[in-house]
Structure 1
Amino acid sequence: ASAVVKLNVGGELFTTTVGTLRKIPGSKLAGMFCTLAKASPSKDEEGRFFIDRPGTYFGAILDYLRSGQMPKQHIPEVYREAQFFEITPLVKLLEDTPQIFGEQVARKQFLLRVPSYSENLELMVRLARAEAMAARHSNVLVCVVHTEGDAAHCEESLRVLEATKRLVVKFGPWKASPVIRDLLDSVKMDIEAQGYQVAYDYCSKKTFQPKANAHEYFYTFRFTWW
């Protein structure tokens, strides 16, 4: 019979067997509890093996190792833990779920085709925070162009804004099917994931004097602080 093991994972306690932990050869968990392991996990004051990861999601990892059961809740968090512990079959199964497939394959692959996407997000947050002093809201002006043609429509408006010292964060163009609204929704989603409260709308025409047909490419992202 396989030896029983007591675990403390991030403060949550589990009891399982060495056989269960070694179920997936080559995984980080199997490596930790291999007889030839160079460094098994440290132990807590009660003598339980201590793993410094979120215990909340470790039960789902154990359920999979014990019986092949797929998690039904907290899919992104369990996916992250499965990646950490290198439980490759579970990682692959989770990548087929709509939630992970949509995020990892569809949305992330699209955003990789948008030049400087991450840097632009950081710039938006920096601009919003700089404008937040003693204010309830911050507004960040964004220009989004999907195609080279869109970009050409906006050139004159961007020059006008630059001349008046208005800072604009510009996204695009990109070579992928998602449209401007999809990009705006992604920006909103990723900023909200950092804990900010944000909404976007078409930029007011009164804000500057662009060419009329450029108006549809300019948006205001409104950060609410309190």
Structure 2
Amino acid sequence: MATSRVRRFAQEGRTVPQPRVMVVFSAASDTEKEEDAMSGAIPGDEEYRKPAIPVPNLNLGRSLRTLDAPEEFPEVIALNVGGTYFTTRLSTLRRFEDTMLAAMFSGRHYIPRDAEGRYFIDRDGANFGDILNFLREGELPPRDRVRAVHREAQYYAIGPLLESLEDTQPLTGEKVRQAFLDLLPNYKENLEHIVEIAKIRAIQRKARFAKLKICVYKEEMPITPYERPLFNSLRFERSESEAKLFEHQCEVDVSFGPWEAVADVYDLLHCIVSDLAERGITADQQCIGVCDKHLINHYYCKRPIYEFKITWW
């Protein structure tokens, strides 16, 4: 059959088709496996043995670009502080490590410059000279500039200067005064009420000034009449029911008190007037009597009432 078929393809001039061959790979023997393990060769492993091509880290490059090299400063620094010019040494600005000036001129931060190349600080320069004088020689400002320099020292975070200023007048007196006011409940809120009420009344009446009634009392219990002095002497021993008999609100605009401190009513009146003056508000006060509210039996309130006159212009 095969011979006749070949003869027929030859007579017809056609190419004899080649037989199909199937190749079957059998499992490698144990000897071959051992040889492969020793040589480290794995059939078809050529593709995996090519050296890997590194992939660029785009995020890494971007993060490096945000880190600027530390800036080098000259020994003499020209400054423009809010339009006022100063010249000082770099070591002066770096005298205390934990300050804003030391951080600014550490080289880690960007500092803008003006048209003349001076380093610019966007701050009022009126008291910056006092800041430099302290950094140079530890010199403190005169008393009339202590408060202003204290504010600048807070901004620049100069701890040694803050400590020195707080131990001088008028800041020492302010600390004592504030310790007293901290014992007084709702002092700041009452001060705001005075300003707001006086402003509304002045606008409504179209007047240059407004008057308010203010109660200022140090003791919580009322003053007892001469007929019953013993009751008043035992005020700290009264029961809650007895104490409620004396609770009431005086018919005034604002009420201050009570408090427990050596400072008396006149000290508090001085604080109120001076704090209003700090806000540019002129206030005059005078005592116009006492609260005559009847409480129980022969007892009346007797808290002093003051009239405050607030002048707006």
Give the TM-score range, shorter chain: 0.7 to 0.9
**Residue-by-residue CA offset, 1:145-165 (whole Å, 9 max, x unaligned):** 21222498985671xx2xxxx
TM (norm. structure 2) is 0.63
Question: How far off is 1:87 after superposition?
Answer: 1.2
Task: Show structure 1 runs of 5+ residues with no match.
Answer: 162-166
Shift in CA distance, 122/157, structure 1 to aligned 2, threshold 3 Å: closer
Structure 2 residue matching 1:146: 3-state secondary structure: coil
**How many percent of aligned residue pairs carry the same amino acid?**
38
**Residue-by-residue CA offset, 1:141-185 (whole Å, 9 max, x unaligned):** 111121222498985671xx2xxxxx5211111222211111111
CA contact (8 A) 1:23 1:65 kept: yes
CA contact (8 A) 1:110 1:176 kept: yes
**How far, CA to CA, are the matches of 1:203 and 1:33 in structure 2?**
60
Shift in CA distance, 124/5, structure 1 to aligned 2, threshold 3 Å: same
Matched, 1:217 2:304: yes
Report the number of matched residues: 214
**How far, CA to CA, are the matches of 2:293 and 2:271 in structure 1?**
25
Shift in CA distance, 131/170, structure 1 to aligned 2, threshold 3 Å: same
1:189 corresponds to: 274
Structure 2 residue aligned with 1:135, among 204, 207, 216? Answer: 207
**Residue-by-residue CA offset, 1:113-140 (whole Å, 9 max, x unaligned):** 1111111111100000001021122011
Larger gyration radius, structure 1 or structure 2: 2
Task: Show structure 2 runs of 5+ residues with no match.
Answer: 1-72, 224-242
Matched, 1:200 2:285: yes
Matched, 1:18 2:90: yes
Aligned counterparts, 1:106-145, within 5 A: 106-133=176-203, 134-145=206-217
Question: How far off is 1:41 after superposition?
Answer: 3.1
Determine which structure has the larger helix proportion and give its number. Answer: 1
**How far, CA to CA, are the matches of 2:89 and 2:162 in structure 1?**
22
Q: Which has the higher contact order (CA 8 A, sep 6+)?
A: 1
Structure 1 residue aligned with 2:264, among 157, 179, 189? Answer: 179
Matched, 1:91 2:176: no
Question: How far off is 1:204 after superposition?
Answer: 5.3
Matched, 1:45 2:115: yes
2:218 corresponds to: 146
Deviating more after overlay: 108-117 vs 213-222? 213-222
Structure 2 residue aligned with 1:80, among 151, 158, 181? Answer: 151
Matched, 1:7 2:92: no
**How far, CA to CA, are the matches of 2:246 and 2:105 in structure 1?**
60
TM (norm. structure 1) is 0.85
**How far, CA to CA, are the matches of 2:219 and 2:111 in structure 1?**
53
Shift in CA distance, 209/41, structure 1 to aligned 2, threshold 3 Å: same
CA contact (8 A) 1:43 1:49 kept: yes
Structure 2 residue aligned with 1:65, among 118, 129, 135? Answer: 135
Alignment-mate amino acid for residue 220 of structure 1 = E
CA contact (8 A) 1:114 1:174 kept: yes
Q: Which runs of 4+ in 1 moved over 6 A?
A: 151-154
